[in-house]
Structure 1
């Protein structure tokens, strides 16, 4: 994982929302996975449980697991006074309290995982007879089966706390015994076209701006590719890229939701007035709903309260769940009726200094809520009733978590950097699988930042990329490593899957292949859609990966001629948005800047389509 670039001086803190895109031409030298320690399986493969080998090489003791001290001791919440409970005091599991109550503290996390013990053939590398090979293979199979049962039986227990007992496991293997897909995968809407080769349909030039400007936000309808522009949102013809409608706004869009209703409505944030120099900044205060089919602003509004007092509350992100639009930020959170914009709740000041940093939307509505004084803050994850904000369940994150990102609301999966241990700006050291009905922790999956490529924007709640949840699994891409040839530009990676109930890595995985890199985009039924970032001399691909077997099927192959691949490769892999639907792929920027004076053409978006 790489460190995201610093924000422009005139913008609020935080890098742009992450997306996906084709990489630039590869720099000299490749990247490789760290050399595995002795007796470890190759990079990217699930580890087998501990087992006693038939023989042990003389003079070589078995590898020992590194010591891992537990972390995550949360602090005690304030003592509840007698009489009427005050706003912000914890509730008991299963009890529905008024919106905004934090939970009880949790117990420590961090059980280290045992590495696999290699099975060494007898004879110090001498060639074995066929009969001996058969005997050894049978012994190894028995050892692995027995060892797997022992590991699973002794790895549970994890932590116990007021909300749940959960297990802790590392995203480094573990060898789930499930294989063959287990009936997962399939039922996707995206079909293989008659001809998977695509053509470049259009190129949208970057708009001229006086300062760095956030243009994140893109959507697809049956008739248009919709993209945020400067002080506007524009619907483009799917084949030509020409505008078919333009929604002018009083100021710049400063937040968008990726969720869209069945009738093509989505939520946005925008500034009340246009930006002017020398600061080129306006507060992000206006919430609205856009009809993406008609190109109309259905309604817009603002609210006061919370940390903003009598001023308009400022928001940093917005989401959509059912008929509720929810916006959050340092001033607090608010929610509105999707149909008319009537407030469902507003930011509220309280004695515990609690506020909703933001929300995860989609199938559910989940708040990431920060409470406490400056030097004693903690984060609570609250599953809400979207209609009124009542807390259905809640889970207190461990001490050392300053921000939390909602990867999925159903099932509920949260990413966080516990104690700033990730160390690479990815915002992720661990994933937390939480029962959204009870608030109990199912399992915590440790994600080594040096090994996995997922990213979450640290100060925002619903801004993760390169990670997808579906089929009861967490799909994670590995960082690039050296491919099998060792040649220049031969980097590759895999997408691995982890069971959200046990936390264990499943056996199946998707290999990108030499010189390609897989980037997960979204679920399509039981299948995983992914973008294959290409070698320097190829165009990118869209593949559908069976969610159970992890076998890929190519849906689109972009042109490999130099002009087109240079345009595709001009988008940063970490800071672009990729959409795919119905044989069409769109890739766009999330940030545009004042022209640098170079002769290189810069694009706002590209549109590709297959002919089949």
Structure 2
């Protein structure tokens, strides 16, 4: 059961503490016709049955956002003193500028094209003063040499007003290279871009192309998989976070277990029992098919009381065999974790109050454990490199820093310190290191300022993504949970918020990009088309893999966009029947565990609740792929 937090710490919250879900979601599905929705396990011939009326505003039911977006922030107050990227203590300071409101515009608005046309939606507009111009180089950042980790106690608590949002933890999959070989067989994807394995390396193909995902002769897809949700008690929300995809297995967390399915037929291949409900799943899968998960230390009682997330388990995706299951200790008690990631041969866990820990991926050997000190590892981001977000200082006056670690030893390669007053950092990419922060206490996207660092941990540029204009999603209180945003080709790819289309009564949006070297928009514009919405899934070499929802007569699509020409190629299109569209909408694709590899698309929920009525059906996962597979 839960232990009391250390002295002078806020009460424990975040994942594992029961919360009321936020009312509604994004993009409410239309009322479907009455009827069932598929068989309990193996999908019946012909795909889904007719959907049921979803609960109005119920858990997981997407809703249209109110005008101005959810939680639209007020402009930040003027801040005195140095802004981002200034030298730390002990370094010469630059000439003191006149006091200004926090920040200048990072880039001037682009010159309108000939003919008097205005710049496209999502391009920078004239803004009030907001810090130093981003074109100017920042002073050097102090570097920290090698040395052992100094992990310790206490992680910033998620404020109660957004605790429900913090429950949504992406359990997608990225590829972690354990031996340096380029093995595409286990390459997988998630809704966060730019931090994965070999097929995500945009820097190797700056001109676009080089992707592994190929266009099929016919992109029309059929239903491969539908996983019905387990029975849920009244007023109870259960966690099924975690999903993984390889060429041979799709694995999805259920209640107190993980189940492996044949990705082409949806039939069960194996079941792995767990100590309790899942709290986090690694995005990465090693080249030999190993993934990791964090689970509660015991099954919940009849009242649904949550247990601490203390159990870390590594397992073989191909066989469903558990390799090891361990916990870490601090001050004689088990430590709770909320995030897990893999880099090289290291499983790193964080997100609790006591700091982070790491294990060797195959043996489970403890590489480091939390220690009481003046600083705490809040969490880690893995994939090609291992990045730590670290908090120092007492509660209420913390400072944050981003570190690049040696995954085998935890030694620090460099440290980038954030100025006092910044209370979060969300890693978007680990190579190159790109992370975002909120410019205000709470914003819709969770990251309005994005930092691009070079290989030595020095600031290249800061990109400002004005809140209310963009539609990416970085989870509150999480280090490695940004979705619908990608890094590749030395660019940051971001979807704009939906706006009026060219046709009457239509909405649309586009993906635009910013240079990680200059901070300016590049002119890239990937249009969704009238009646559609588009967002990036991940990089595929120099190509951008994107999800585009369906229009009146088309199902949602996965498309590949050439990084240079911006040519769009359809890789997959789901059925357009009302039952399928309703089921997809209920998954809320932008916030789901969205995986695409080898021409197959899988969507998974991380939280489930009791259906609105006994006739309704809830699903934890859906899969689509070639109908003749």
TM-score bracket relative to the smaller structure = 0.7 to 0.9
Which residue in 2 is equivalent to 1:318? Answer: 340
TM-score (norm 2): 0.72
- Give matches, 1:221-300, under 5 Å: 221-300=246-325
Which whole-Å deviations, capped at 9, do the CAs of 1:525-564 have from their partners, x for residues lacking one?
Answer: 1111111112355311110011223221111111112222
Which residue in 1 is equivalent to 2:213? Answer: 190
SS for the counterpart of 2:584 is helix
Measured in 2, the distance between the counterparts of 1:312 and 1:467 equals 35
Distance 1:469 1:533, change over 3 A: same
Moved more, 546-555 or 505-514: 546-555
Measured in 1, the distance between the counterparts of 2:370 and 2:21 equals 25
Which whole-Å deviations, capped at 9, do the CAs of 1:42-71 have from their partners, x for residues lacking one?
Answer: xxxxxxxxxxxxxxxxxxxxxxxx999567
Distance 1:552 1:594, change over 3 A: same
Q: Which of 242, 248, 253 is matched with 1:217 structurally?
A: 242
Alpha carbons 1:453, 1:466 under 8 Å: kept: yes
Measured in 2, the distance between the counterparts of 1:595 and 1:12 equals 21
Pair 1:387-2:408 in alignment: yes
Alpha carbons 1:539, 1:560 under 8 Å: kept: yes
- Give matches, 1:386-535, under 5 Å: 386-420=407-441, 423-424=443-444, 426-435=445-454, 437-487=455-505, 490-535=506-551
Moved more, 587-596 or 496-505: 587-596
Alpha carbons 2:246, 2:597 under 8 Å: kept: no
Measured in 1, the distance between the counterparts of 2:76 and 2:334 equals 50
- Give matches, 1:365-376, under 5 Å: 365-376=386-397
Q: Runs of 5+ in structure 2 lacking a partner? A: 1-11, 32-61, 70-74, 117-132, 144-203
User: How far 1:573 sits from its partner (Å)?
Assistant: 3.5
**How many residues are matched?**
493
Which whole-Å deviations, capped at 9, do the CAs of 1:126-161 have from their partners, x for residues lacking one?
Answer: xxxxxxxxxxxxxxxxxxxxxxxxxxxx86325325
Alpha carbons 1:534, 1:541 under 8 Å: kept: yes
Which whole-Å deviations, capped at 9, do the CAs of 1:466-522 have from their partners, x for residues lacking one?
Answer: 1111111111001111111122xx111101111111111111211010111112111
Q: Runs of 5+ in structure 1 lacking a partner? A: 1-6, 35-65, 78-88, 94-105, 126-153, 165-180
Which residue in 2 is equivalent to 1:83? Answer: none
Pair 1:114-2:137 in alignment: no
- Give matches, 1:332-351, under 5 Å: 332-350=355-373
Measured in 1, the distance between the counterparts of 2:551 and 2:81 equals 41
Alpha carbons 2:602, 2:624 under 8 Å: kept: yes
User: How far 1:185 sits from its partner (Å)?
Assistant: 1.2
User: How far 1:584 sits from its partner (Å)?
Assistant: 1.1
User: How far 1:604 sits from its partner (Å)?
Assistant: 1.3
Measured in 2, the distance between the counterparts of 1:335 and 1:15 equals 32
SS for the counterpart of 2:518 is coil
User: How far 1:186 sits from its partner (Å)?
Assistant: 0.8
Measured in 1, the distance between the counterparts of 2:20 and 2:138 equals 34
Measured in 2, the distance between the counterparts of 1:521 and 1:291 equals 25
Distance 1:15 1:458, change over 3 A: farther
Alpha carbons 1:497, 1:508 under 8 Å: kept: yes
- Structure of higher CA gyration radius: 1
Distance 1:394 1:312, change over 3 A: same
Measured in 1, the distance between the counterparts of 2:439 and 2:393 equals 17
Q: Which of 2, 17, 35 is matched with 1:12 structurally?
A: 17
Measured in 1, the distance between the counterparts of 2:389 and 2:16 equals 23
Alpha carbons 2:134, 2:463 under 8 Å: kept: no
Alpha carbons 1:499, 1:505 under 8 Å: kept: yes
Moved more, 450-459 or 196-205: 196-205
User: How far 1:13 sits from its partner (Å)?
Assistant: 7.5
Pair 1:593-2:609 in alignment: yes
User: How far 1:576 sits from its partner (Å)?
Assistant: 1.3
Alpha carbons 1:326, 1:359 under 8 Å: kept: yes
SS for the counterpart of 1:315 is coil
Measured in 2, the distance between the counterparts of 1:342 and 1:91 equals 39
User: How far 1:220 sits from its partner (Å)?
Assistant: 1.3
Measured in 1, the distance between the counterparts of 2:80 and 2:271 equals 51
Which residue in 1 is equivalent to 2:29? Answer: 24
Measured in 1, the distance between the counterparts of 2:534 and 2:625 equals 20
Alpha carbons 2:599, 2:626 under 8 Å: kept: yes
Measured in 2, the distance between the counterparts of 1:76 and 1:199 equals 50
Which residue in 2 is equivalent to 1:572? Answer: 588
Distance 1:75 1:468, change over 3 A: closer
Pair 1:201-2:224 in alignment: yes
Distance 1:377 1:541, change over 3 A: same
User: How far 1:25 sits from its partner (Å)?
Assistant: 3.6
Q: Which of 548, 561, 580 is matched with 2:564 structurally?
A: 548
Measured in 1, the distance between the counterparts of 2:496 and 2:558 equals 18
SS for the counterpart of 1:515 is coil
User: How far 1:29 sits from its partner (Å)?
Assistant: 9.1
Measured in 2, the distance between the counterparts of 1:262 and 1:385 equals 19
Measured in 2, the distance between the counterparts of 1:410 and 1:288 equals 26
User: How far 1:377 sits from its partner (Å)?
Assistant: 0.6
Alpha carbons 1:543, 1:555 under 8 Å: kept: yes
Runs of 4+ with deviation above 4 angstroms: 7-10, 13-17, 20-23, 26-34, 66-77, 89-93, 106-109, 116-121
Which residue in 1 is equivalent to 2:178? Answer: none
Measured in 1, the distance between the counterparts of 2:212 and 2:461 equals 31
Alpha carbons 1:22, 1:534 under 8 Å: kept: no
SS for the counterpart of 2:225 is strand
Q: Which of 136, 157, 162 is matched with 2:136 structurally?
A: 157
Which whole-Å deviations, capped at 9, do the CAs of 1:402-432 have from their partners, x for residues lacking one?
Answer: 1211111110001111332x533x2111111
